[in-house]
Amino acid sequence: MTEPAGPGAPAGSGGVAMALVGLALRLVLGGIFAWAAYLKISDPQQFTHAIKAFDTDLPDRLIIWSTFAVPWTEMLCAAALIVGVWTRAAATTVALMLVLFTGLVISAILRHLNLEHCGCFGRQGLLCHGPPGWCHVGENGLMLAMALVIALTGRQVVAADCLLERRARGRA
Amino acid sequence: MPPSNAGKQALRVVVLIALGTGAGIADSAMRPVKVTPDAPPPIEEVIAGHGAGQPLPTGANPVPARPPQGAPQAKPAETAKPYMITVEQARKLFETDQADFIDARPETEYAEGHIRGALSIPIEAFAGQIPERLKLIPDRARVIIVYCSGGNDCKAAEDVMIELQALKYSKIYVIQAGFPGWKEAGLPVDQGSPP
């Protein structure tokens, strides 16, 4: 499963290096999202409080669904990135979620909301700690860049997508 | 990315979101969470039969007080919730020692000023554990008054109330005017970090 897939398959050492960078990005981003999802799924009431704290005026039912739908979507995308199934779609979904999260953080900063933490990683933080701030925007920007590289390059190694593509080509 | 491939990727994105949402909705049915607290017994029943104490000083305002300058404006009280009580009601319970007070604000704000004798238990203290300071209130039937910075949308106090109800405390109320209202009424306050 080390052969890259698709029309963007790497050629030569430069292509292989890019593919390896893609693999590293997938594992790092997938790991981060799996961790974030686990923290939210393991204590849903705390995540409900975190969503409420952003003062979005969402109906209660939508807050409850978001409490569970967001981390499960994160977990699903994390698994897809790590295993390498539907890699580009998973990276795109992660990018969309990051845009949404960043919008919420910026909105909290601009409205001077008195929040203890952003709830992104439960009570913990990745690179940034404390109340939502521009550090969190930068952190999300970094992850967004990683997701976009994976989504746009389409070069994967050690991915289930490679097997699936090879099988599809064999049938053709 | 050729158009057909872009369409395939977009469809996969929709499928991933739909699967995540479906799993989430199924999970929410198995592990209910609360957005708003349950209504406690009417505060009048709790206060009834006990001394009303001294009236508030002249000019004291039992309804939402004006927040300090620079603080976000509290919303008006027209949609008061069943667990919201006035400063006057809280004062009666304070003076007859019928209730314990919990400060739901961050510890830094508690240190700057808090209701005398209040425990500092912000919502973060409940993450995956029972807050150590809650051991000081072992009686689940004891009246607990939670407060934050005031206003009808005092989410920090509401969230602490939800966590307390999950721990089977039944008589929990929130001071609608919060700490600013209590302070403006000239009622006892202390300063300093939580012990």
The pLDDT value given to residue A32: 96
Look at A88 and B52; give whichever has higher pLDDT: A88
Contact B111, B190 (CB under 8 A): no
B148 counts as catalytic: yes
Asked if B13's CB is within 8 angstroms of A63's CB, the reply is no
Average pLDDT over residues B162-187: 94
Q: How confident is the model at residue A99 (pLDDT cuts 50, 70, 90)?
A: very high
B21 at the A interface (CB within 8 A)? Answer: yes
pLDDT, residue B152, reads 59
Q: What pLDDT, on a 0 to 100 scale, did the predictor assign at position B77?
A: 46
Which of B5, B13, B110 has the highest number of chain A CBs within 10 A, making it the mutation to test binding with A? B13
What pLDDT shows up at residue A13?
Answer: 66
Q: What does the block give as tokens for B35? A: 């957005």
Quick one: angle between helices A134-153 and A12-42, nearest 10? 130
H helices of B71-177, where?
87-95, 107-112, 155-166
- Taking the C-alpha atoms of residue B65 and residue B63, their distance in angstroms, rounded to an integer, is 6
Residue A51 has pLDDT above 70, yes or no: yes
Region of B49 (left: φ > 0; alpha: ψ -120 to 50; beta: rest) is left
Of the listed ranges A38-42, A53-57, B18-22, the one predicted with least confidence: A53-57
Residue B46 pLDDT greater than 70, yes or no: yes
Greater confidence (B2 vs A93) lies with A93
Residue numbers of B between 128 and 157 with CB closer than 8 Å to A? 128, 149, 153, 155-156
> How many angstroms separate the CA atoms of B112 and B191, rounded?
6
Assigned token pair, B131 = 């807050």
CA distances from B194 to A141, B155, B180 (A): 37, 21, 19
Q: Mark yes or no for CB contact B25/A89 under 8 Å.
A: no
With 50 as the cut, is the pLDDT of residue B49 above it? yes
Q: Is B43 exposed, middle or buried (0-12, 13-18, 19+ CB in 10 A)?
A: buried
pLDDT band at B101 (very low <50, low <70, confident <90, very high): very high
Tell me the mean pLDDT in the region A138-157.
89
Give the one of A46, A90, A114 whose C-beta lies nearest to B16's C-beta.
Answer: A90
Looking at residue A11, what is its pLDDT?
53
Give the mean pLDDT of B134-162.
Answer: 88
Which residues of chain B neighbour A152 with C-beta distances below 8 Å? 1
Condensed to tens digits (0 to 9), the pLDDT of residues A58-83 reads: 998 999 999 999 999 999 999 999 99
Q: With beta carbons under 8 A apart, name residues in chain A contacting B1.
A: 152, 154
The continuous run of DSSP H or E covering B59 comes out as: none
Please give the structure tokens belonging to residue A59: 């109906």
Tell me the C-alpha to C-alpha distance, in Å, between residue B66 and each of B62, B90, B179, B182. 11, 18, 11, 11
In this structure, the dihedral spanned by the alpha carbons of residues B72, B78, B79 and B83, taken in order and rounded to 10 degrees, is 90
Question: What does pLDDT average to over chain A?
Answer: 86
Rg, C-alpha atoms of chain B: 21
Mean pLDDT of the B149-159 span? 80
- In terms of Cα–Cα distance, which of B34, B41, B30 is closest to B167? B34
Q: How far apart are the CA of B21 and the nearest CA of chain A, in angstroms? A: 4
Cα–Cα distance for residue pair A60/A65, rounded to 1 Å: 9
pLDDT band with cut points at 50, 70 and 90 for residue B91:
very high
Give the neighbor-by-neighbor strand order of the sheet with B171-175: B84-85, B171-175, B143-147, B99-103, B119-120
Residues of B in contact with A63 (CB under 8 A): 35
Work out how many CB contacts closer than 8 A connect A with B: 111
Structure tokens belonging to residue A94: 């992660």
Q: Of B102, B121, B146, B148, which one is the catalytic site residue?
A: B148
What percent of chain A stands above pLDDT 70? Answer: 91
Of B193 and B128, the structure prediction assigns the larger pLDDT to B193
- How far apart CA A105 and CA A111 sit, in angstroms, is 10
Among A4-8, B68-72, B107-111, the minimum mean pLDDT is found in A4-8
Q: Is A70 in contact with A39 (CB distance < 8 Å)?
A: no
User: Can you give the pLDDT at residue A3?
Assistant: 40
